[in-house]
Amino acid sequence: MSLDILMVIVIILATLVMFVLGKIRYDLVALTALFFLVILGIIPPERAFAGFSHPAVITVACVLVVSRALLNAGIVDRIVSLMGQLHSGPGVQSGVLSGLVALSSSFMNNVGALSLFIPVTLSIGRKNKISPSRLLMPLAFASLLGGMITLIGTPPNIIIATFRGQQPGLEPFRMFDFAYVGGLIALIGLLFIIFLGWRLIPHREGQGSSGDIIEIAKYLTEARVPAESAVIGKRLGQLEYEREEINVVGLIRGESRYPVPYPNRQLQEGDILLLQADTEDLQGFLDEHGLELAESGALDRENLGSEEVELLEVVVMPDAFLEGRTAGGINMRTRLGINLLAVAREGGGLRGRLSTIRFRAGDVLLLQGPRGTLHELIPRLGLLPLAERPLRLGRSRQALLAVLVFALAVGVAALGILPIQISFLGAAILLTLAGFVPLKEVYSSIEWPVIILLGAMFPLSEALEITGGTDLIAGGLLEIARDSAPWVALTIIFVGTMFLSDLVNNTAATVLMAPIALQIARGLEVSPDTFLMAVAISASCAFLTPLGHQSNTLVMGPGGYRFSDYWRMGLPLEIIIVLAAIPLLLWIWPLQG
C-alpha cells in the first residue's frame, strides 16, 4: 500500500468518525478533509474546488429552489387541508399520511415535504387521542422511501445519475429510471409501515392534557407575594435584573392576566408570579424576597398568552441557526424579545438553567413572545412551528402555472432534451421571475451545508480513485465474493451502503460508495447499472438512527423518541428491503444487461 493511499484512507476514516460523533457539523468536517488533501499534495490546488461545479451540486441547488416554489404555490397545502378531516385509527392514519408524504417527497425536498405534514399530523393525533410517537416516525421513513422513486427525489439519486454519465460510453440515468426498483421498494416499505411497522414503535406518554408536546406545569412555578414580602412596591424589571437566571413569564392580579408583564409594573400584595427557573435558583429567589409557593391552578397556556402574546411549540430544524447555540448566548430574551419556557429532548424535558442549554436539531422548544415578532423570527432561527398554520392555498391559476413549469422541466429532462441540471435551472429561473420564490428566498431555500458537503466530498472521492484506493477496496471485496455468485457482491455493496447511511449523511455515503461499486462491477465483468442502482436505493435506507437523514432528526423531539427507538421499526424495514431489493435489481437491471 502506497503512502498516498494510506493518507487518503486515514483522512476518509477520520472524516467518517467525525460524521458519526456529530461534534462538528458535517460540511465543516468535509471542508477540513479537503484542506488536508490539498496540503498533503494529493489533490492539486487548482482542483480543490472543482467539486462545486459538479453537475450534481448544481442540480441539487436548483431542485431545492423549485421545491420551495411548489411549496409557496400552495400545491401541497391543498392536499394537507383535506387531511384535517381524517378520523380513524393509527394504522389508517399512518397509511394515508405516509403515502402522501412519500408521493410529495418523490418530487420535492424530503425535509420540506415532511415539515408540511408534521403540524397536521400532530393535530390529527390530538383529535383522535393518538400519541405523536405512533405517527411521526412512519412519516419520516415514508419521506425517505418516496425519495427513491425519481431522479430528483433525493441527492443520492442525482449523484448516481451524474456519476454514470461521467463514465465512458454511458449516459446519466433519466428521471424515472429509479422508479422501476425504487417505486416497488417504496410500496413494499409503505405496506410494512401501514400493517405492522407503526405497532413496533414505543408508545410515549407524558404529554399535556391538551395533547401538547410540552406540559407547561412541569417547567413553571407559581409564587405569591404575601403581605410581609420585600418585593411589594418593586418593579418587575428590578427582580429580573438582580437575578438574571429568573424569568417572570406571567403575572396574575385578581381577575387580570398579564403574560410577559411590563418590567415597570409595580408588585402588589397578593400578586401571583409565574416563574421559570432552575429549582436551586428558585429556592434562593423565594427566600431572598419573601415569596411563597402558590397553587392557584394558573399554570396553563391561557394565562401565558393573549391576543398580543403567543405561546408556541417549535422544533429545531437540522442546520438551523440555533443549532449548537444557547438562549443566553444569543440573548434570546433581551435581544429578540422571546422567552424560552421549556426544552424537550428525546422524550423528556431538560432541567437546569435553560439559558445554558446548547440546542440540538430535533429539540422541541416552548417559546413565548409577541405574535408578530415570534412568527417573524421563527423561520430566521431555523425553527418549525408544531401548530397548524394558515394554509397557503393561493390562486388556482398560480398553482397551475407552477405545476406546468415543473412538469415541463421534468419532461425535458426525462426525454433527454436537456441535462437535468439545465432543465431545472431554467425552471428555477422561470418560477423566480414569476414571483413564486422571492429573490432573497432563493438563497435561503438552498441547503448550503449539503451543497458544501457535496462540493468537498467529490474531491475526496476523486482522491480515493487517483491514488488507487478505490481499486484496493474493491479488490478486497472482490476477493471475498470471487468464489461466489455476483449477487453476493451486490448484497455486500447494498448492505454496506445502507449501514454507512445509518451512521453518516447519506449524500456522503453515496459519493464514497459509487466508485467502489463501479469498480467491483468492472472486476466481475457485469453491468455497472445493477451496482449503481444498488447504491442509490440503499443510500436512502437510513432507518436505524436519527443520524443518517434530516427527516429522522426532525421528528425526534416532537415524537418523543430516544436514539434506540429507531431500530425497532427500522431494522425489520431494512431487512425486508434487502430481501426485496436484491431480486428486483437482478430482474430489472440484469447483471448481463
Paired strand residues for 311: 368
Backbone angles phi, psi at 268, to 5 degrees: -130, 160
Interaxial angle between packed helices 448-466 and 3-21, expressed in degrees from 0 to 180 and rounded to the nearest 10? 150
The span from the CA of 441 to the CA of 575, in Å, is 40
Q: How confident is the model at residue 208 (pLDDT cuts 50, 70, 90)?
A: very low
The grid coordinates of residue 548 equal 443518517
Tens digit of each residue's pLDDT (9 = 90 or more) over 405-419: 999 999 999 888 999
* pLDDT, position 141: 95
Residue ranges, CATH 3.30.70.1450, the chain: 221-298, 309-385
Angle 103-123-502 from CA coordinates, rounded to 5°: 50
The span from the CA of 339 to the CA of 248, in Å, is 9
Helix residue spans in 84-165 (DSSP H): 90-105, 110-127, 136-147, 155-165
Residue 391 has pLDDT above 60, yes or no: no
Q: How confident is the model at residue 197 (pLDDT cuts 50, 70, 90)?
A: confident
What are the Cα distances from residue 267, in Å, to 233, 235, 290, 396?
5, 6, 13, 55
Average pLDDT on 185-205 reads 86
* pLDDT, position 210: 45
Residue 76 has pLDDT above 80, yes or no: no
* pLDDT, position 589: 95
Residue 535 vs residue 283, higher pLDDT? 535
Backbone angles phi, psi at 126, to 5 degrees: -65, -45
Task: For residue 548, give the nearest of 504, 497, 507 by alpha carbon.
Answer: 504
Average pLDDT on 174-184 reads 94
499 Cβ partners below 8 Å, 6+ apart? none
Look up the CATH architecture of domain 309-385. 2-Layer Sandwich (3.30)
* pLDDT, position 209: 39
3 state DSSP class of 85: coil
* pLDDT, position 32: 95
Average pLDDT on 477-505 reads 88
Asked if residue 488 lies in contact with residue 513, where contact means CB atoms within 8 angstroms, the answer is: no
**HSE-CB for 531 with a 13 A CA cutoff:** 29
Task: For residue 55, give the nearest of 150, 144, 151, 143 by alpha carbon.
Answer: 151
Average pLDDT on 420-430 reads 94
Task: For residue 266, give the nearest of 237, 241, 292, 289 by alpha carbon.
Answer: 237
Least confident of 246-260, 464-478, 490-504, 533-547: 246-260
CATH topology for 221-298 is: Alpha-Beta Plaits (3.30.70)
The span from the CA of 514 to the CA of 536, in Å, is 9
Residue 490 has pLDDT above 80, yes or no: yes
Task: For residue 458, give the nearest of 45, 4, 1, 49 by alpha carbon.
Answer: 49
**HSE-CB for 132 with a 13 A CA cutoff:** 28
Least confident of 13-27, 182-196, 574-588: 13-27
Tens digit of each residue's pLDDT (9 = 90 or more) over 348-372: 677 667 778 889 888 888 888 887 7
Residue 298 has pLDDT above 70, yes or no: no
3 state DSSP class of 486: helix
Residue 470 has pLDDT above 50, yes or no: yes
Residue 206 has pLDDT above 60, yes or no: no
Residue 201 vs residue 145, higher pLDDT? 145
* pLDDT, position 150: 94
The grid coordinates of residue 482 equal 470471487
Residue 190 has pLDDT above 80, yes or no: yes
Q: How confident is the model at residue 241 (pLDDT cuts 50, 70, 90)?
A: low
β-strands 292-293, 348-349 pairing? unpaired
Residue 297 has pLDDT above 70, yes or no: no
Average pLDDT, the chain: 84
